Structure 1
Amino acid sequence: MEAYIGIIIRTFSAILLLLFVAQLLGKQTISNMTLHDFVTGITIGTIAANLAFNETQKWTHLLLSLIVITVTSIVLSIIALKSRKMRRLISGSPSILIEGGKILEDNMRKLRYSMDSLDQALRGKGIFNVEEVEYAVLEDNGTVSVLKKDEHRYVTKKDMKLRSHKQAFPVELIMDGILIEENLKNNGLTREWLDSELKRRGKQISDVFYGVRGTQHQLVFDYYKDGITKPIDKE
Structure 2
Amino acid sequence: MPVWETVIRSIFAFTLMMLIARLLGKSTIAQMTYHDFVASITLGAITANIAFNDKISLWNLIASAITYTGIAYLLMALSLKNRRFRNWFSGKPTLLIQEGKILENNLRKLKISLDTLNQELREKDIFNIREVQYAVLELNGHLTVMRTPESMTATRKDLQLKVPSKQIFPIELIMDGKIIDNNLEQNHLSEEWLLAQVKKQSLSLDNVNYAVIGTDGTIYWDKVKDRIPNPIDTA
TM-score band by shorter chain is 0.7 to 0.9
Distance 1:161 1:229, change over 3 A: closer
Using the TM superposition, give the Cα deviation of residue 158 of structure 1 relative to its aligned residue in structure 2, in angstroms: 5.2
Shift of 1:163: 5.4
Gap change, CA 1:136 and 1:232, over 3 Å in 2: farther
**Which residue of 1 is the match for residue 232 of structure 2?**
231
Give, in whole Å, the separation in 2 of the partners of 1:206 and 1:144: 46
Matches within 5 A, 1:32-51: 32-51=31-50
Q: What's the CA shift for 1:156?
A: 3.8
Partner of 1:187: 187
CA contact (8 A) 2:46 2:65 kept: yes
- Aligned amino acid, residue 142 of structure 2: T
- Residue type at the aligned position of 2:232: P
CA distance in 2, matches of 1:116, 1:173: 47
TM-score (norm 1): 0.88
Question: Match for 2:194: what amino acid?
Answer: L
Q: 4+ residue runs of structure 1 moved beyond 6 angstroms?
A: none
The unaligned stretches of length 5 or more in structure 2 are none
Cα distance per residue 1:80-121 (max 9 Å; x no partner): 223322212211111111111122233223322233433333
* Counterpart amino acid of residue 19 in structure 1: M
Matches within 5 A, 1:17-32: 17-32=16-31
Q: Does 1:138 align with 2:137?
A: yes
Aligned residue runs from structure 1 range 1-235, under 5 A:
3-156=2-155, 159=158, 160=160, 165-226=165-226, 227=228, 229-231=230-232, 233=234
Distance 1:6 1:100, change over 3 A: same
Quick check: 194-203 or 211-220, which moved more?
Answer: 194-203
Residues in 2 aligned to 1:8 and 1:55: alpha-carbon distance in whole angstroms: 13
Q: CA RMSD in A?
A: 2.3
Q: Secondary structure at the match of 1:202?
A: coil
3-state SS, counterpart of residue 193 of structure 1: helix
Q: Which runs of 5+ in 1 are unaligned?
A: none
* Equivalent-residue separation in structure 2 for 1:228 and 1:132 (angstroms): 45
Q: Percent identity?
A: 43
Call closer, same or farther: CA 1:114–1:177 in 2, change over 3 Å. farther
SS in 1 for 2:130: helix
* CA–CA distance in structure 1, aligned partners of residues 204 and 102 of structure 2: 56
Q: TM-score, normalised by structure 2?
A: 0.88
Query: Is the 1:29–1:41 Cα contact (8 Å) retained in structure 2?
Result: no
Conserved? CA contact 1:157–1:164, under 8 Å: no
Letter in 2 for 1:6: E
CA distance in 1 between counterparts of 2:86 and 2:48 reads 29
